[in-house]
Amino acid sequence: MKKIYCIAILFVSILLVGCSSQTANDEAVELTISAAASLQDALEELTATYTNEHPNVTITYNFGGSGTLQQQILQGAPVDLFFSAAENKFDELVDEGFIDQKQGTKLLANELVLVVPANNTKNIQSFKELKNAEKIALGTPDNVPAGQYGMEVLQNLELWHELEAKVVYTKDVRQVLTYVETENVDAGLVYKTDALISDKVEIVATAASDTHTPIIYPVGILKDSKQTTDATDFYEFLQSDAAMEIFEKYGFNKGQ
Taking only the tens place, the pLDDT of each residue in 126-174 is 999 999 999 999 999 999 999 999 999 999 999 999 999 999 999 999 9
Q: Are residues 105 and 221 in the same domain?
A: yes
Q: Are residues 99 and 38 in the same domain?
A: yes
Q: Are residues 166 and 190 in the same domain?
A: yes
- Answer whether residue 220 shows pLDDT above 60: yes
pLDDT digits (tens, 9 = 90+) for 35-77: 999 999 999 999 999 999 999 999 999 999 999 999 999 999 9
What is the CA 69 to chain-centroid distance, rounded? 11
**Domains in the chain, number:** 2
Domain around 130? 112-211
Q: Are residues 219 and 105 in the same domain?
A: yes
Q: Are residues 161 and 87 in the same domain?
A: no
Query: Where residue 8 sits, what CATH number does that domain have?
Result: 3.40.190.10
pLDDT above 70 coverage of the chain, percent = 90
pLDDT digits (tens, 9 = 90+) for 78-115: 999 999 999 999 999 999 999 999 999 999 999 999 99
Q: Are residues 221 and 103 in the same domain?
A: yes
Q: Are residues 224 and 207 in the same domain?
A: no
Q: Are residues 238 and 189 in the same domain?
A: no
Query: What is the pTM for the complete model shown?
Result: 0.87
Contact present, 105 and 131 (Cβ < 8 Å)? no
Q: Are residues 100 and 147 in the same domain?
A: no
Q: Which residues contact 2 (CB under 8 A, 6 or more apart)?
A: none
Q: What is the dihedral of CA 220, 72, 91, 106, to 10 degrees?
A: 40
